[in-house]
Structure 1
Amino acid sequence: MSIVRSISLLPLILLLLTLGCSEEAAEKGEGKAHVSGVITDFYEEKGQVLIDNEEDNGTKSGPILISLHTDAELIINGETVTAPLDGTLVGRRAEVWTGPSIAKSSPPQTTALKMVIY
């Protein structure tokens, strides 16, 4: 393979490596939480919590419905638990790392890969 062809493939290889690393970080729930705020409601029929999402500066950006992914990591008071979400979590603060998509419904809905509840 010529040197010109090798050099032209370099940006593609770097892009693929970058995408692979960012996906791995999202899967592990690393970095800043995508959703952060107080759990204001619980919907038993779908196993979802409603979180009043807040931006970094403390302003509210609106509610968002969160359900747990089947392989999600749920941490309550510093302990990893296997229990489903329930109504006892209302009023508690949560940080959530979400999957790649958010449904444009009202309110928006997404799936948690990792949820930490305080």
Structure 2
Amino acid sequence: MSIVRKLSLMPLILLLLTLGCSEESAEKEEGKASVSGVITDFYEEKGQVLIDNEEDNGNKSGPILISLHTNAELIIEGEIVAAPLDDTLVGRSADVWTGGVIAKSYPPQTKALKMVIH
């Protein structure tokens, strides 16, 4: 096979690799929530909620501060809402999907890409 033919296949290979990676990241976003637990506090000045994070086995892994990413999807009782986080959410359970970056502070902080309030 000539070099020209091999090079002409390169864009097709790159396209297929890109599509495969994008499907994987979409699956990760829709998979298991990064943070799950009860909202225990609301900090109005930063628009953050404090969630007492629980692991799958029911153990608590400690509190984590969550704020909404600018393009975050907030779902309350099955409906997508455009309202910001507020103190009416305290005491409710939440599942949060994040971008994976968590600030090493106490308590740790991260931004939600998707938050479902029950």
TM-score, normalised with respect to structure 2: 0.81
C-alpha displacement of 1:100:
2.5
Residue 65 (structure 1) aligns with: 65
The residue number in structure 2 matching 1:20 is: 22
Partner of 1:37: 37
Which sections of structure 1, spanning at least 5 residues, go unmatched?
none
Larger radius of gyration: 2
Spell out structure 1 runs of 4+ moving beyond 2 A: 13-26
What one-letter code is carried by the residue in structure 2 that aligns with 1:76?
I
Query: Matched residues in 1 for 2:61 and 2:78: separation?
Result: 26
Counterpart residue identity of residue 45, structure 2 = E
Query: Percent same amino acid at aligned positions?
Result: 74
Instruction: Using the TM superposition, give the Cα deviation of residue 99 of structure 1 relative to its aligned residue in structure 2, in angstroms.
Output: 1.2
Whole-Å separation in 1 of the counterparts to 2:19 and 2:102: 25
**How far apart are the structure 1 equivalents of 2:64 and 2:34?**
11
Give the Cα–Cα distance (whole angstroms) in 2 for the partners of residues 88 and 69 of structure 1: 20
Tell me the residue number matched to 1:53: 53
Could you say which structure has the higher strand fraction? 1
TM-score by length of 1: 0.81
For this pair of structures, how many residues does the alignment match?
A: 111
Structure 2: state its 5+ residue gaps: none
Aligned to 2:93: 93
